[in-house]
Structure 1
């Protein structure tokens, strides 16, 4: 019996959760905005998410990372989740997906 976890499947579930979280100032989810830099899953089903905010003094700087952690932790397969905020590289509109740019009328 294989003990290897299906990280691709879990990754998709995590992305789905991330796409349900919106930046309060921009009507686009944080994933499409490009705020998620990386998602790591280890063999113990512990998730680490490296993300940024649109600005260092973003009004949701306190609450958004907690919301991300809680929603990811709510997935059955996830044992623990931790969000690390980074401003390196700083977020820019270049990181937004085509979908987000389209949504905001930037294309």
Structure 2
């Protein structure tokens, strides 16, 4: 579990977070993170809760490509919180794959 909500962090979300293979709960909400959501977050296969809400994140929600992971690889995820950011584009249909068990997407 890593809860860094409301800590006043700014800048990009460190892509190294994707190396925390045992992480099951990641809350980075209510900070001032900017830039895109790192594709490396897609490596957190045990995450069931991902809260990136209330930041200044931009770009689209990353999905897997042949050369990089994406959030569609988080098959254990039940909660994705992206609200109150500056994200663009549609919510990727890959997040609603029959292999995922999402309950809550904001």
Q: TM-score range by the shorter chain?
A: under 0.3
Higher strand share goes to which structure? 2
- TM-score normalised per structure 2: 0.25
- TM-score normalised per structure 1: 0.25
Higher helix share goes to which structure? 1
